[in-house]
Amino acid sequence: MNEYRLRRRVQFYETDVAGIVHFSWFFRYMEEAEHALWREAGLSIHPPEGEFGWPRVAAAFDFQRALRFEDEIDVHLRIAEMARKTIRYECVISKDGHQIATGTMTIACVQKKPTMRAVEIPDDIVQRLSASKT
Amino acid sequence: MNEYRLRRRVQFYETDVAGIVHFSWFFRYMEEAEHALWREAGLSIHPPEGEFGWPRVAAAFDFQRALRFEDEIDVHLRIAEMARKTIRYECVISKDGHQIATGTMTIACVQKKPTMRAVEIPDDIVQRLSASKT
Amino acid sequence: MNEYRLRRRVQFYETDVAGIVHFSWFFRYMEEAEHALWREAGLSIHPPEGEFGWPRVAAAFDFQRALRFEDEIDVHLRIAEMARKTIRYECVISKDGHQIATGTMTIACVQKKPTMRAVEIPDDIVQRLSASKT
Amino acid sequence: MNEYRLRRRVQFYETDVAGIVHFSWFFRYMEEAEHALWREAGLSIHPPEGEFGWPRVAAAFDFQRALRFEDEIDVHLRIAEMARKTIRYECVISKDGHQIATGTMTIACVQKKPTMRAVEIPDDIVQRLSASKT
Protein backbone atom coordinates (compact mmCIF):
# COMPACT_ATOMS: atom_id res chain seq x y z
CA MET A 1 0.00 0.00 0.00
CA ASN A 2 1.95 3.02 -1.21
CA GLU A 3 -0.85 5.36 -2.20
CA TYR A 4 -4.35 6.24 -1.11
CA ARG A 5 -7.29 8.26 -2.35
CA LEU A 6 -9.44 9.82 0.32
CA ARG A 7 -12.82 11.25 -0.58
CA ARG A 8 -14.00 13.88 1.84
CA ARG A 9 -16.45 16.72 2.16
CA VAL A 10 -15.48 20.23 3.26
CA GLN A 11 -16.98 21.03 6.66
CA PHE A 12 -18.38 24.37 7.77
CA TYR A 13 -15.78 24.90 10.50
CA GLU A 14 -13.01 24.52 7.91
CA THR A 15 -14.05 27.70 6.11
CA ASP A 16 -13.09 31.25 7.05
CA VAL A 17 -14.48 34.76 6.63
CA ALA A 18 -12.99 34.96 3.13
CA GLY A 19 -15.58 32.32 2.22
CA ILE A 20 -13.08 29.55 1.47
CA VAL A 21 -11.31 26.74 3.27
CA HIS A 22 -8.56 28.10 5.51
CA PHE A 23 -5.17 27.04 4.11
CA SER A 24 -4.15 25.32 7.36
CA TRP A 25 -6.78 22.68 6.66
CA PHE A 26 -5.03 21.38 3.56
CA PHE A 27 -2.27 20.08 5.81
CA ARG A 28 -4.85 18.26 7.90
CA TYR A 29 -6.47 16.80 4.78
CA MET A 30 -3.04 15.49 3.75
CA GLU A 31 -2.52 13.95 7.18
CA GLU A 32 -5.97 12.34 7.17
CA ALA A 33 -5.05 10.63 3.89
CA GLU A 34 -1.73 9.53 5.38
CA HIS A 35 -3.40 7.87 8.36
CA ALA A 36 -5.99 6.24 6.11
CA LEU A 37 -3.15 4.87 3.95
CA TRP A 38 -1.50 3.40 7.04
CA ARG A 39 -4.76 1.81 8.17
CA GLU A 40 -5.25 0.36 4.70
CA ALA A 41 -1.76 -1.15 5.06
CA GLY A 42 -2.81 -2.73 8.36
CA LEU A 43 -0.97 -0.17 10.49
CA SER A 44 -1.73 2.65 12.89
CA ILE A 45 0.61 5.62 12.90
CA HIS A 46 -0.04 6.06 16.61
CA PRO A 47 -0.96 2.75 18.28
CA PRO A 48 -1.61 2.83 22.05
CA GLU A 49 1.71 2.32 23.89
CA GLY A 50 3.52 2.32 20.54
CA GLU A 51 7.31 2.29 20.56
CA PHE A 52 7.77 4.68 17.65
CA GLY A 53 6.68 8.20 16.83
CA TRP A 54 6.46 9.95 13.46
CA PRO A 55 7.10 13.66 13.81
CA ARG A 56 6.72 15.82 10.74
CA VAL A 57 10.06 17.14 9.45
CA ALA A 58 8.68 19.29 6.65
CA ALA A 59 5.34 20.12 5.05
CA ALA A 60 4.44 22.35 2.12
CA PHE A 61 1.51 23.21 -0.13
CA ASP A 62 1.03 25.17 -3.33
CA PHE A 63 -2.51 26.41 -3.70
CA GLN A 64 -4.03 26.77 -7.17
CA ARG A 65 -7.75 27.06 -6.47
CA ALA A 66 -10.04 27.62 -3.50
CA LEU A 67 -12.36 25.14 -1.79
CA ARG A 68 -15.77 26.00 -0.40
CA PHE A 69 -18.29 24.66 2.12
CA GLU A 70 -19.71 21.26 1.16
CA ASP A 71 -17.29 20.73 -1.74
CA GLU A 72 -16.45 17.08 -2.23
CA ILE A 73 -12.73 16.63 -2.65
CA ASP A 74 -10.24 13.91 -3.48
CA VAL A 75 -7.03 13.75 -1.51
CA HIS A 76 -4.57 11.58 -3.39
CA LEU A 77 -1.50 10.73 -1.32
CA ARG A 78 1.40 8.61 -2.45
CA ILE A 79 4.74 7.66 -0.95
CA ALA A 80 7.29 9.40 -3.14
CA GLU A 81 10.36 8.20 -1.25
CA MET A 82 11.05 5.80 1.55
CA ALA A 83 14.51 6.46 2.99
CA ARG A 84 16.08 4.61 5.90
CA LYS A 85 14.69 6.94 8.56
CA THR A 86 12.21 9.12 6.72
CA ILE A 87 9.21 8.91 4.42
CA ARG A 88 8.30 11.59 1.89
CA TYR A 89 4.74 11.88 0.61
CA GLU A 90 3.34 13.75 -2.35
CA CYS A 91 -0.26 14.85 -2.33
CA VAL A 92 -2.72 16.18 -4.90
CA ILE A 93 -6.03 17.63 -3.79
CA SER A 94 -8.64 17.88 -6.52
CA LYS A 95 -12.33 18.56 -7.01
CA ASP A 96 -14.35 17.25 -9.93
CA GLY A 97 -11.13 16.37 -11.68
CA HIS A 98 -9.67 19.88 -11.31
CA GLN A 99 -6.45 20.22 -9.37
CA ILE A 100 -6.84 22.43 -6.31
CA ALA A 101 -3.52 22.13 -4.50
CA THR A 102 -0.35 20.05 -4.38
CA GLY A 103 1.58 19.21 -1.25
CA THR A 104 4.53 17.34 0.16
CA MET A 105 5.26 16.08 3.65
CA THR A 106 8.30 14.36 5.15
CA ILE A 107 8.08 12.42 8.38
CA ALA A 108 10.83 10.82 10.47
CA CYS A 109 10.78 7.63 12.51
CA VAL A 110 11.77 8.20 16.14
CA GLN A 111 12.09 5.80 19.03
CA LYS A 112 10.34 7.32 22.04
CA LYS A 113 12.39 5.72 24.83
CA PRO A 114 14.68 6.06 26.63
CA THR A 115 15.09 9.33 24.78
CA MET A 116 13.50 10.54 21.55
CA ARG A 117 15.93 9.79 18.69
CA ALA A 118 15.74 9.11 14.97
CA VAL A 119 15.92 5.42 14.10
CA GLU A 120 15.56 3.22 11.04
CA ILE A 121 12.02 2.47 10.00
CA PRO A 122 11.10 -1.04 11.19
CA ASP A 123 11.12 -3.67 8.40
CA ASP A 124 7.50 -4.62 8.88
CA ILE A 125 6.40 -1.04 8.30
CA VAL A 126 8.70 -0.64 5.29
CA GLN A 127 7.22 -3.75 3.72
CA ARG A 128 3.61 -2.84 4.37
CA LEU A 129 4.05 0.66 2.99
CA SER A 130 6.06 -0.53 -0.02
CA ALA A 131 3.57 -3.00 -1.39
CA SER A 132 1.86 -1.85 -4.55
CA LYS A 133 -1.79 -1.08 -4.29
CA THR A 134 -3.66 -4.15 -5.46
CA MET B 1 -7.11 33.24 42.55
CA ASN B 2 -10.73 32.42 41.79
CA GLU B 3 -11.36 34.53 38.73
CA TYR B 4 -9.49 35.78 35.70
CA ARG B 5 -9.97 38.24 32.88
CA LEU B 6 -8.32 37.32 29.62
CA ARG B 7 -8.01 39.91 26.89
CA ARG B 8 -7.67 38.37 23.47
CA ARG B 9 -8.03 39.21 19.80
CA VAL B 10 -10.13 37.16 17.37
CA GLN B 11 -7.90 35.40 14.84
CA PHE B 12 -8.67 34.89 11.16
CA TYR B 13 -8.77 31.10 11.40
CA GLU B 14 -11.44 31.35 14.10
CA THR B 15 -13.96 32.83 11.67
CA ASP B 16 -16.17 30.89 9.25
CA VAL B 17 -17.91 31.49 5.94
CA ALA B 18 -20.82 33.14 7.76
CA GLY B 19 -18.34 35.92 8.54
CA ILE B 20 -18.32 35.39 12.30
CA VAL B 21 -16.41 33.39 14.89
CA HIS B 22 -17.39 29.72 14.73
CA PHE B 23 -19.26 28.81 17.91
CA SER B 24 -16.83 26.00 18.80
CA TRP B 25 -14.18 28.66 19.49
CA PHE B 26 -16.06 30.11 22.45
CA PHE B 27 -15.35 26.87 24.30
CA ARG B 28 -11.66 27.25 23.52
CA TYR B 29 -11.69 30.87 24.68
CA MET B 30 -13.23 29.70 27.97
CA GLU B 31 -10.54 27.06 28.36
CA GLU B 32 -7.77 29.53 27.57
CA ALA B 33 -9.02 31.70 30.42
CA GLU B 34 -9.17 28.65 32.70
CA HIS B 35 -5.55 27.76 32.06
CA ALA B 36 -4.48 31.38 32.49
CA LEU B 37 -6.32 31.44 35.83
CA TRP B 38 -4.44 28.32 36.93
CA ARG B 39 -1.11 29.81 35.88
CA GLU B 40 -1.94 32.98 37.78
CA ALA B 41 -2.57 30.75 40.81
CA GLY B 42 0.88 29.20 40.37
CA LEU B 43 -0.46 25.99 38.82
CA SER B 44 -0.48 24.19 35.51
CA ILE B 45 -3.57 22.18 34.63
CA HIS B 46 -1.36 19.73 32.75
CA PRO B 47 2.18 19.62 34.19
CA PRO B 48 4.64 17.19 32.55
CA GLU B 49 4.32 13.80 34.29
CA GLY B 50 1.46 15.15 36.39
CA GLU B 51 -0.47 12.75 38.60
CA PHE B 52 -3.91 14.25 37.98
CA GLY B 53 -6.05 14.93 34.95
CA TRP B 54 -8.97 17.33 34.57
CA PRO B 55 -11.48 16.03 32.02
CA ARG B 56 -14.41 18.21 31.15
CA VAL B 57 -17.71 16.83 32.50
CA ALA B 58 -20.00 19.44 30.96
CA ALA B 59 -19.73 22.61 28.91
CA ALA B 60 -22.36 25.02 27.63
CA PHE B 61 -22.69 28.41 26.00
CA ASP B 62 -25.54 30.80 25.26
CA PHE B 63 -24.72 33.12 22.39
CA GLN B 64 -26.17 36.62 22.33
CA ARG B 65 -24.04 38.40 19.75
CA ALA B 66 -21.52 37.52 17.07
CA LEU B 67 -17.76 38.13 17.06
CA ARG B 68 -15.75 39.11 14.00
CA PHE B 69 -12.17 39.06 12.76
CA GLU B 70 -9.83 41.25 14.82
CA ASP B 71 -12.41 41.97 17.52
CA GLU B 72 -10.80 42.45 20.90
CA ILE B 73 -12.66 40.49 23.53
CA ASP B 74 -12.70 39.99 27.27
CA VAL B 75 -13.12 36.48 28.62
CA HIS B 76 -14.08 36.72 32.27
CA LEU B 77 -13.93 33.36 34.03
CA ARG B 78 -14.72 32.74 37.68
CA ILE B 79 -14.97 29.66 39.84
CA ALA B 80 -18.66 29.39 40.69
CA GLU B 81 -18.38 26.25 42.77
CA MET B 82 -15.58 24.10 44.11
CA ALA B 83 -16.94 20.71 45.13
CA ARG B 84 -14.90 17.82 46.52
CA LYS B 85 -14.14 16.31 43.13
CA THR B 86 -15.30 18.90 40.63
CA ILE B 87 -14.96 22.57 39.78
CA ARG B 88 -17.64 24.59 38.05
CA TYR B 89 -16.75 27.76 36.17
CA GLU B 90 -18.92 30.56 34.88
CA CYS B 91 -17.75 32.64 31.96
CA VAL B 92 -18.82 35.90 30.34
CA ILE B 93 -17.40 36.92 27.00
CA SER B 94 -17.78 40.59 26.16
CA LYS B 95 -16.61 43.18 23.68
CA ASP B 96 -16.40 46.90 24.41
CA GLY B 97 -18.54 46.29 27.49
CA HIS B 98 -21.29 44.51 25.56
CA GLN B 99 -22.05 40.94 26.56
CA ILE B 100 -21.47 38.51 23.70
CA ALA B 101 -21.96 35.09 25.29
CA THR B 102 -22.19 33.34 28.63
CA GLY B 103 -20.85 29.91 29.39
CA THR B 104 -20.36 27.29 32.07
CA MET B 105 -17.93 24.42 32.35
CA THR B 106 -17.52 21.66 34.91
CA ILE B 107 -14.31 19.69 35.26
CA ALA B 108 -13.51 16.65 37.38
CA CYS B 109 -10.29 15.68 39.11
CA VAL B 110 -9.05 12.22 38.12
CA GLN B 111 -6.02 10.26 39.18
CA LYS B 112 -4.37 8.85 36.09
CA LYS B 113 -2.79 5.71 37.58
CA PRO B 114 -3.13 2.84 38.11
CA THR B 115 -6.49 3.43 36.43
CA MET B 116 -8.30 6.66 35.64
CA ARG B 117 -10.73 7.40 38.49
CA ALA B 118 -12.37 10.43 40.08
CA VAL B 119 -10.62 11.62 43.24
CA GLU B 120 -10.80 14.53 45.65
CA ILE B 121 -9.11 17.68 44.50
CA PRO B 122 -5.71 17.98 46.25
CA ASP B 123 -5.65 20.51 49.10
CA ASP B 124 -2.92 22.61 47.57
CA ILE B 125 -4.97 23.12 44.44
CA VAL B 126 -8.13 23.88 46.40
CA GLN B 127 -6.30 26.54 48.38
CA ARG B 128 -4.64 28.17 45.42
CA LEU B 129 -7.90 28.33 43.46
CA SER B 130 -9.91 29.54 46.46
CA ALA B 131 -7.83 32.58 47.30
CA SER B 132 -9.50 35.85 46.45
CA LYS B 133 -7.95 37.84 43.68
CA THR B 134 -5.70 40.42 45.28
CA MET C 1 -35.85 14.06 7.55
CA ASN C 2 -35.78 14.84 11.25
CA GLU C 3 -32.87 12.75 12.41
CA TYR C 4 -29.54 11.58 11.13
CA ARG C 5 -26.81 9.14 12.09
CA LEU C 6 -23.32 10.14 11.09
CA ARG C 7 -20.53 7.58 11.26
CA ARG C 8 -17.13 9.17 11.60
CA ARG C 9 -13.59 8.38 12.60
CA VAL C 10 -11.62 10.42 15.15
CA GLN C 11 -8.75 12.23 13.45
CA PHE C 12 -5.28 12.77 14.90
CA TYR C 13 -5.60 16.58 15.00
CA GLU C 14 -8.74 16.25 17.11
CA THR C 15 -6.80 14.76 20.02
CA ASP C 16 -4.87 16.68 22.68
CA VAL C 17 -1.93 16.10 25.00
CA ALA C 18 -4.24 14.37 27.51
CA GLY C 19 -4.51 11.62 24.89
CA ILE C 20 -8.20 12.13 24.16
CA VAL C 21 -10.41 14.11 21.82
CA HIS C 22 -10.50 17.77 22.87
CA PHE C 23 -13.99 18.61 24.12
CA SER C 24 -14.43 21.44 21.59
CA TRP C 25 -14.58 18.81 18.85
CA PHE C 26 -17.83 17.32 20.12
CA PHE C 27 -19.56 20.52 19.12
CA ARG C 28 -18.11 20.23 15.64
CA TYR C 29 -19.19 16.59 15.41
CA MET C 30 -22.73 17.69 16.32
CA GLU C 31 -22.66 20.37 13.64
CA GLU C 32 -21.32 17.94 11.03
CA ALA C 33 -24.31 15.72 11.70
CA GLU C 34 -26.62 18.73 11.46
CA HIS C 35 -25.34 19.69 8.04
CA ALA C 36 -25.50 16.08 6.85
CA LEU C 37 -29.13 15.95 8.04
CA TRP C 38 -29.91 19.09 6.02
CA ARG C 39 -28.24 17.67 2.93
CA GLU C 40 -30.21 14.45 3.35
CA ALA C 41 -33.34 16.62 3.43
CA GLY C 42 -32.28 18.24 0.15
CA LEU C 43 -31.08 21.44 1.80
CA SER C 44 -27.86 23.30 2.45
CA ILE C 45 -27.58 25.26 5.67
CA HIS C 46 -25.37 27.79 3.88
CA PRO C 47 -26.12 27.93 0.16
CA PRO C 48 -24.09 30.41 -1.92
CA GLU C 49 -25.91 33.77 -1.89
CA GLY C 50 -28.48 32.34 0.52
CA GLU C 51 -31.05 34.69 2.00
CA PHE C 52 -31.06 33.16 5.49
CA GLY C 53 -28.48 32.48 8.14
CA TRP C 54 -28.61 30.04 11.07
CA PRO C 55 -26.59 31.35 14.01
CA ARG C 56 -26.25 29.13 17.03
CA VAL C 57 -28.20 30.44 20.03
CA ALA C 58 -27.08 27.81 22.54
CA ALA C 59 -24.96 24.66 22.62
CA ALA C 60 -24.16 22.23 25.41
CA PHE C 61 -22.57 18.85 26.00
CA ASP C 62 -22.34 16.43 28.91
CA PHE C 63 -19.33 14.16 28.61
CA GLN C 64 -19.47 10.64 29.99
CA ARG C 65 -16.52 8.91 28.36
CA ALA C 66 -13.44 9.87 26.38
CA LEU C 67 -12.72 9.32 22.69
CA ARG C 68 -9.33 8.43 21.28
CA PHE C 69 -7.44 8.55 17.97
CA GLU C 70 -8.99 6.36 15.27
CA ASP C 71 -12.12 5.56 17.28
CA GLU C 72 -15.14 5.07 15.08
CA ILE C 73 -18.09 6.97 16.44
CA ASP C 74 -21.78 7.42 15.78
CA VAL C 75 -23.24 10.89 15.99
CA HIS C 76 -27.00 10.61 16.26
CA LEU C 77 -28.75 13.93 15.82
CA ARG C 78 -32.48 14.51 15.94
CA ILE C 79 -34.71 17.55 15.82
CA ALA C 80 -36.23 17.75 19.28
CA GLU C 81 -38.27 20.89 18.67
CA MET C 82 -39.09 23.05 15.69
CA ALA C 83 -40.41 26.41 16.89
CA ARG C 84 -41.44 29.30 14.66
CA LYS C 85 -38.01 30.89 14.55
CA THR C 86 -35.72 28.32 16.13
CA ILE C 87 -34.77 24.65 15.90
CA ARG C 88 -33.51 22.62 18.84
CA TYR C 89 -31.46 19.48 18.27
CA GLU C 90 -30.56 16.66 20.60
CA CYS C 91 -27.45 14.62 19.98
CA VAL C 92 -26.01 11.37 21.29
CA ILE C 93 -22.43 10.42 20.50
CA SER C 94 -21.63 6.76 20.98
CA LYS C 95 -18.94 4.22 20.26
CA ASP C 96 -19.55 0.49 19.88
CA GLY C 97 -22.98 1.02 21.40
CA HIS C 98 -21.63 2.79 24.49
CA GLN C 99 -22.82 6.32 25.10
CA ILE C 100 -19.94 8.81 25.10
CA ALA C 101 -21.63 12.20 25.33
CA THR C 102 -25.00 13.90 24.95
CA GLY C 103 -25.54 17.34 23.54
CA THR C 104 -28.11 19.94 22.59
CA MET C 105 -27.98 22.85 20.18
CA THR C 106 -30.46 25.58 19.34
CA ILE C 107 -30.22 27.58 16.15
CA ALA C 108 -32.22 30.61 15.00
CA CYS C 109 -33.34 31.60 11.52
CA VAL C 110 -32.19 35.10 10.55
CA GLN C 111 -32.70 37.08 7.40
CA LYS C 112 -29.37 38.57 6.36
CA LYS C 113 -30.61 41.70 4.55
CA PRO C 114 -31.23 44.54 4.85
CA THR C 115 -30.22 43.95 8.45
CA MET C 116 -29.72 40.70 10.33
CA ARG C 117 -32.95 39.90 12.18
CA ALA C 118 -34.75 36.81 13.45
CA VAL C 119 -37.52 35.63 11.13
CA GLU C 120 -39.87 32.67 10.81
CA ILE C 121 -38.38 29.56 9.33
CA PRO C 122 -39.47 29.31 5.67
CA ASP C 123 -42.21 26.74 5.05
CA ASP C 124 -40.18 24.68 2.62
CA ILE C 125 -37.46 24.18 5.21
CA VAL C 126 -39.98 23.35 7.95
CA GLN C 127 -41.53 20.71 5.75
CA ARG C 128 -38.29 19.13 4.66
CA LEU C 129 -36.97 18.94 8.21
CA SER C 130 -40.28 17.67 9.61
CA ALA C 131 -40.68 14.65 7.39
CA SER C 132 -40.09 11.36 9.14
CA LYS C 133 -37.06 9.43 8.10
CA THR C 134 -38.16 6.88 5.56
CA MET D 1 6.71 47.94 8.90
CA ASN D 2 8.34 44.96 7.21
CA GLU D 3 8.83 42.59 10.10
CA TYR D 4 7.11 41.66 13.31
CA ARG D 5 7.82 39.62 16.42
CA LEU D 6 4.82 37.97 18.00
CA ARG D 7 5.11 36.51 21.48
CA ARG D 8 2.55 33.84 22.15
CA ARG D 9 1.82 30.95 24.47
CA VAL D 10 0.97 27.44 23.25
CA GLN D 11 -2.63 26.58 24.07
CA PHE D 12 -3.92 23.19 25.20
CA TYR D 13 -6.10 22.66 22.13
CA GLU D 14 -3.07 23.13 19.90
CA THR D 15 -1.44 19.95 21.23
CA ASP D 16 -2.13 16.40 20.05
CA VAL D 17 -1.93 12.88 21.45
CA ALA D 18 1.80 12.76 20.64
CA GLY D 19 2.15 15.38 23.38
CA ILE D 20 3.34 18.18 21.11
CA VAL D 21 1.85 21.01 19.06
CA HIS D 22 0.19 19.65 15.92
CA PHE D 23 2.17 20.78 12.89
CA SER D 24 -0.85 22.47 11.29
CA TRP D 25 -0.70 25.09 14.04
CA PHE D 26 2.65 26.46 12.92
CA PHE D 27 0.93 27.75 9.79
CA ARG D 28 -1.63 29.50 11.97
CA TYR D 29 1.10 31.00 14.15
CA MET D 30 2.74 32.36 11.00
CA GLU D 31 -0.54 33.87 9.87
CA GLU D 32 -1.19 35.42 13.30
CA ALA D 33 2.14 37.19 13.02
CA GLU D 34 1.28 38.31 9.48
CA HIS D 35 -1.97 39.91 10.59
CA ALA D 36 -0.29 41.53 13.58
CA LEU D 37 2.35 42.96 11.21
CA TRP D 38 -0.39 44.43 9.03
CA ARG D 39 -2.14 45.95 12.04
CA GLU D 40 1.15 47.45 13.19
CA ALA D 41 1.42 48.99 9.72
CA GLY D 42 -2.04 50.52 10.14
CA LEU D 43 -3.75 47.96 7.91
CA SER D 44 -6.19 45.10 8.17
CA ILE D 45 -5.72 42.17 5.83
CA HIS D 46 -9.48 41.68 5.77
CA PRO D 47 -11.34 44.94 6.40
CA PRO D 48 -15.16 44.79 6.34
CA GLU D 49 -16.34 45.34 2.76
CA GLY D 50 -12.72 45.42 1.59
CA GLU D 51 -12.04 45.52 -2.15
CA PHE D 52 -9.04 43.16 -2.07
CA GLY D 53 -8.41 39.62 -0.90
CA TRP D 54 -5.11 37.94 -0.06
CA PRO D 55 -5.27 34.21 -0.80
CA ARG D 56 -2.29 32.10 0.12
CA VAL D 57 -0.39 30.85 -2.94
CA ALA D 58 2.14 28.70 -1.10
CA ALA D 59 3.10 27.84 2.47
CA ALA D 60 5.84 25.64 3.88
CA PHE D 61 7.51 24.78 7.17
CA ASP D 62 10.60 22.85 8.20
CA PHE D 63 10.33 21.56 11.74
CA GLN D 64 13.45 21.22 13.88
CA ARG D 65 12.08 20.85 17.39
CA ALA D 66 8.74 20.22 19.08
CA LEU D 67 6.59 22.64 21.07
CA ARG D 68 4.61 21.72 24.15
CA PHE D 69 1.64 22.98 26.19
CA GLU D 70 2.28 26.37 27.79
CA ASP D 71 5.55 26.98 25.96
CA GLU D 72 6.14 30.65 25.27
CA ILE D 73 7.23 31.15 21.71
CA ASP D 74 8.47 33.92 19.45
CA VAL D 75 7.13 34.10 15.93
CA HIS D 76 9.40 36.34 13.88
CA LEU D 77 7.93 37.21 10.50
CA ARG D 78 9.56 39.40 7.89
CA ILE D 79 8.69 40.38 4.35
CA ALA D 80 11.35 38.70 2.23
CA GLU D 81 10.06 39.92 -1.12
CA MET D 82 7.40 42.32 -2.29
CA ALA D 83 6.63 41.68 -5.96
CA ARG D 84 4.05 43.52 -8.03
CA LYS D 85 1.22 41.14 -7.21
CA THR D 86 2.59 38.93 -4.45
CA ILE D 87 4.27 39.12 -1.07
CA ARG D 88 6.63 36.47 0.27
CA TYR D 89 7.22 36.13 3.99
CA GLU D 90 9.89 34.28 5.91
CA CYS D 91 9.21 33.12 9.43
CA VAL D 92 11.31 31.78 12.30
CA ILE D 93 9.62 30.27 15.32
CA SER D 94 11.81 30.03 18.40
CA LYS D 95 11.62 29.29 22.10
CA ASP D 96 14.10 30.63 24.66
CA GLY D 97 16.39 31.56 21.82
CA HIS D 98 16.36 28.08 20.28
CA GLN D 99 15.07 27.76 16.74
CA ILE D 100 12.02 25.50 16.53
CA ALA D 101 10.86 25.82 12.93
CA THR D 102 11.30 27.95 9.81
CA GLY D 103 8.57 28.76 7.36
CA THR D 104 7.70 30.67 4.22
CA MET D 105 4.41 31.90 2.86
CA THR D 106 3.46 33.65 -0.37
CA ILE D 107 0.22 35.56 -0.74
CA ALA D 108 -1.33 37.17 -3.81
CA CYS D 109 -3.40 40.32 -4.10
CA VAL D 110 -6.76 39.73 -5.77
CA GLN D 111 -9.58 42.09 -6.59
CA LYS D 112 -12.84 40.50 -5.46
CA LYS D 113 -15.24 42.09 -7.96
CA PRO D 114 -16.57 41.77 -10.56
CA THR D 115 -14.61 38.52 -10.65
CA MET D 116 -11.71 37.35 -8.49
CA ARG D 117 -8.47 38.17 -10.35
CA ALA D 118 -4.85 38.88 -9.46
CA VAL D 119 -4.02 42.59 -9.44
CA GLU D 120 -1.13 44.83 -8.46
CA ILE D 121 -0.78 45.53 -4.79
CA PRO D 122 -2.18 49.03 -4.06
CA ASP D 123 0.52 51.68 -3.53
CA ASP D 124 -0.63 52.57 -0.04
CA ILE D 125 -0.21 48.98 1.09
CA VAL D 126 3.18 48.65 -0.60
CA GLN D 127 4.39 51.76 1.19
CA ARG D 128 3.09 50.78 4.59
CA LEU D 129 4.59 47.31 4.39
CA SER D 130 7.89 48.57 2.98
CA ALA D 131 8.74 51.02 5.71
CA SER D 132 11.53 49.90 7.98
CA LYS D 133 10.61 49.09 11.51
CA THR D 134 11.32 52.17 13.57
Q: Which residue in chain C is spatially nearest to A48 when comparing CA positions?
A: C69
List all residues 6 or more positions away from D58 whose beta carbon is below 8 Å from its beta carbon.
A60, A61, A62, A63, D104, D105, D106
Is the pTM higher than 0.95? yes
Q: Is A39 on the interface with C (CB under 8 A)?
A: yes
Rounded CA-CA distance D123/D130 in Å is 10
Residues on chain B touching A16 (C-beta within 8 angstroms): 12-13, 15-17
Q: C12 and C18 in contact (C-beta within 8 Å)?
A: no
Instruction: Tell me what the mean pLDDT of segment B54-80 comes to.
Output: 98
Quote the Cα angle for D77-D19-D33, to 5°: 15
Q: Which helix (DSSP H) or strand (DSSP E) does residue D30 occupy?
A: helix D24-40
List all residues 6 or more positions away from C90 whose beta carbon is below 8 Å from its beta carbon.
C77, C78, C80, C102, C103, C104
Q: Average model confidence (pLDDT) for chain D?
A: 96
Q: Which residue in chain B is spatially nearest to A25 when comparing CA positions?
A: B13
With bands split at pLDDT 50, 70 and 90, how would you rate the model's confidence at B131?
A: confident
Instruction: Tell me what the mean pLDDT of segment B86-111 comes to.
Output: 98
The whole-number pLDDT of residue C116 equals 87
The whole-number pLDDT of residue B132 equals 77
At residue C46, does pLDDT exceed 90?
yes
DSSP A15: B
Candidates A10, A14, A15, A17: best to mutate against B (most CBs of B within 10 A) is A17
Task: Give the residue ranges of DSSP H helices in A1-134.
Answer: 24-40, 123-130
Instruction: Tell me what the mean pLDDT of segment D68-87 comes to.
Output: 98
pLDDT digits (tens, 9 = 90+) for B16-64: 999 999 999 999 999 999 999 999 999 999 998 899 999 999 999 999 9
> Model ipTM?
0.97
Q: Is C99 on the interface with A (CB under 8 A)?
A: no
At residue A87, does pLDDT exceed 60?
yes
Residues on chain D touching B68 (C-beta within 8 angstroms): 48
With bands split at pLDDT 50, 70 and 90, how would you rate the model's confidence at B134?
A: low
At residue D132, does pLDDT exceed 80?
no
Q: Which residue in chain B is spatially nearest to C62 when comparing CA positions?
A: B58
Candidates D15, D16, D27: best to mutate against C (most CBs of C within 10 A) is D16
The whole-number pLDDT of residue C133 equals 64
Q: Which of A23-27, C110-114, D47-51 has maximum average pLDDT?
A: A23-27
List all residues 6 or more positions away from D20 whose beta carbon is below 8 Å from its beta carbon.
A55, C17, D66, D67, D68
Rounded CA-CA distance D134/B16 in Å is 35
Q: C77 and C34 in contact (C-beta within 8 Å)?
A: yes
pLDDT digits (tens, 9 = 90+) for A73-85: 999 999 999 999 9
Spell out the SS3 assignment of A73-92. Answer: EEEEEEEEEECCCEEEEEEE
Q: Please name the member of D17, D68, D69 whose beta carbon is closest to the beta carbon of C15.
A: D17
Q: Is B68 on the interface with A (CB under 8 A)?
A: yes
Q: Average model confidence (pLDDT) for chain A?
A: 96
